């Protein structure tokens, strides 16, 4: 599996939805088939925790694949100066997921099945990388000329493919109910206008990231990249024009978080322009530019999550 594909997947994960929880009404019961506001909140929590876990594990897997490539090379006698560092994954969000909420109703069983695969592959990948690290540390590759390193790499890549397939299936299954739960929770929320507008920014940003991920691993198309830039810039401008005026004093501290989100969203635009200019000149998206975009995306997402939570 190509590492750049993993990077694209890690970049394009959907932003965590709002978790500013409020009571769920009759609309929630109709849409989600839920009996109480607890069900709506459970869906929001599952969504947020799963997305955080998926993002974290995707980054972890990227490092693992880099390590496996270098391990195979070194075990076969190639010159590898420094082996990549792969630390134990600390996935706190994953540990918060105790079960699939009943509010997912008819999709609950399917989500549980995919989540079991997701969990099993996640655990197996971690076991295999530890096995490979032990093999490299003991220099056992001197006995089999790297045969085991190659075998473990193939096993890990197979599990990684299955992990991402399960992750994408879960994302597709939980989205409708999560959107409905969010709509219910926001129905009478004091910050509804700002949250919905900010989410529009994130949706546009995710669309940008999805496109750049594809173009990074494929061919750069300036017209497509520019079109996404203009769509995102429009959403950012509309959000920045909103005057944060929430009467409820318990949300007064959110003003600075809203402004921070807008600033980070605007900073992303600067790097996006640079990426387009450099890619146009070089004929492809540069590694340095995609790394800067990745870091900037994390900043925007972090600011968004701080605002809506």
Express each pLDDT in 46-68 by its tens digit: 988 998 899 889 989 999 999 99
Q: Give the percent of the chain with pLDDT over 70.
A: 88
Q: Tell me how crowded residue 142 is: count the other CB atoms within 10 A of its CB.
A: 10
> So what CATH class is 190-309?
mainly alpha
| Average pLDDT estimate for 189-207 | 91
Cα 17 from chain centroid? 12
pLDDT the model gives residue 152: 97
pLDDT at res. 233? 98
- SS3 at position 84: coil
pLDDT band of 146, cuts 50, 70, 90: very high
Rounded to whole angstroms, the Cα distance separating 157 from 68 reads 9
CA 242 to CA 258: how far, in whole Å? Answer: 10
Strand segments, DSSP code E, in the chain are none
| CATH architecture, range 1-189 | Up-down Bundle (1.20)
Q: Please tell me the predicted confidence (pLDDT) of residue 298.
A: 86
Report pLDDT for 36: 55
Residue 257 confidence (pLDDT):
95
pLDDT surpassing 80 at residue 37: no
Residue 15 pLDDT > 80:
no
Q: Which two tokens stand for residue 254?
A: 């959110």
Mean per-residue pLDDT for 11-15?
42
Percent of the chain with pLDDT over 90: 63
Is the pLDDT assigned to residue 29 strictly greater than 50? no
Looking at residue 182, its pLDDT comes to 81
Q: Tell which wins on pLDDT, 182 or 5.
A: 182
- Cβ pair 258, 307 in contact under 8 A: yes
In this prediction, residue 28 has a pLDDT band, given cuts at 50, 70 and 90, of: very low
Minimum mean pLDDT range among 8-22, 40-54, 215-229, 273-287? 8-22
Contacts 24+ apart (CB under 8 A), 110-119: 110/169, 110/173, 111/170, 111/173, 111/174, 114/166, 114/169, 114/170, 114/173, 115/166, 115/170, 117/162, 117/163, 117/165, 117/166, 118/163, 118/166, 118/167, 118/170
Q: Residue ranges of the domains in the chain?
A: 1-189, 190-309
Name the DSSP class of 284.
S
pLDDT at 7 over 60: no
Give the other-Cβ count within 10 Å of 227's Cβ: 12
């Amino acid at each position: 599996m190509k590492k750049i594909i993993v990077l694209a997947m890690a970049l394009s994960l959907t932003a965590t939805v709002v978790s500013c929880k409020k009571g769920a009404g009759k609309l929630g019961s109709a849409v989600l088939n839920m009996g109480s506001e607890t069900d709506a909140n459970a869906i929001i929590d599952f969504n947020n925790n799963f997305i955080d876990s998926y993002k974290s594990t995707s980054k972890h897997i990227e490092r693992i694949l880099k390590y496996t490539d270098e391990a195979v090379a070194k075990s076969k006698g190639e010159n590898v100066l420094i082996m990549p560092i792969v630390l134990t994954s600390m996935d706190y969000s994953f540990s918060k997921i105790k079960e699939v909420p009943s509010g997912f109703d008819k999709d609950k069983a399917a989500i549980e099945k995919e989540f079991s695969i997701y969990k099993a592959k996640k655990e197996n990948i971690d076991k295999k990388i530890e096995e490979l690290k032990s093999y490299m540390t003991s220099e056992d590759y001197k006995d089999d000329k790297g045969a085991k390193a190659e075998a473990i790499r193939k096993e890990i890549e197979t599990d990684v493919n299955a992990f991402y397939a399960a992750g994408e299936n879960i994302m597709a299954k939980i989205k409708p109910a999560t959107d409905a739960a969010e709509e219910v929770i926001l129905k009478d929320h004091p910050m509804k206008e700002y949250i919905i507008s900010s989410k529009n920014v994130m949706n546009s940003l995710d669309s940008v990231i999805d496109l750049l991920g594809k173009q990074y691993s494929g061919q750069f198309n300036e017209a497509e990249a520019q079109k996404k830039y203009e769509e995102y810039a429009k959403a950012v401008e509309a959000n920045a024009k909103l005057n944060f005026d929430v009467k409820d004093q318990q949300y007064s501290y959110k003003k600075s978080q809203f402004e921070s989100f807008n600033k980070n969203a605007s900073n992303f635009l600067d790097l996006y322009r640079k990426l387009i200019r450099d890619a146009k000149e070089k004929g492809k998206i540069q590694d340095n530019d995609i790394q800067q975009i990745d870091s900037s995306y994390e900043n925007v997402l972090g600011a968004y999550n701080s605002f809506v939570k």
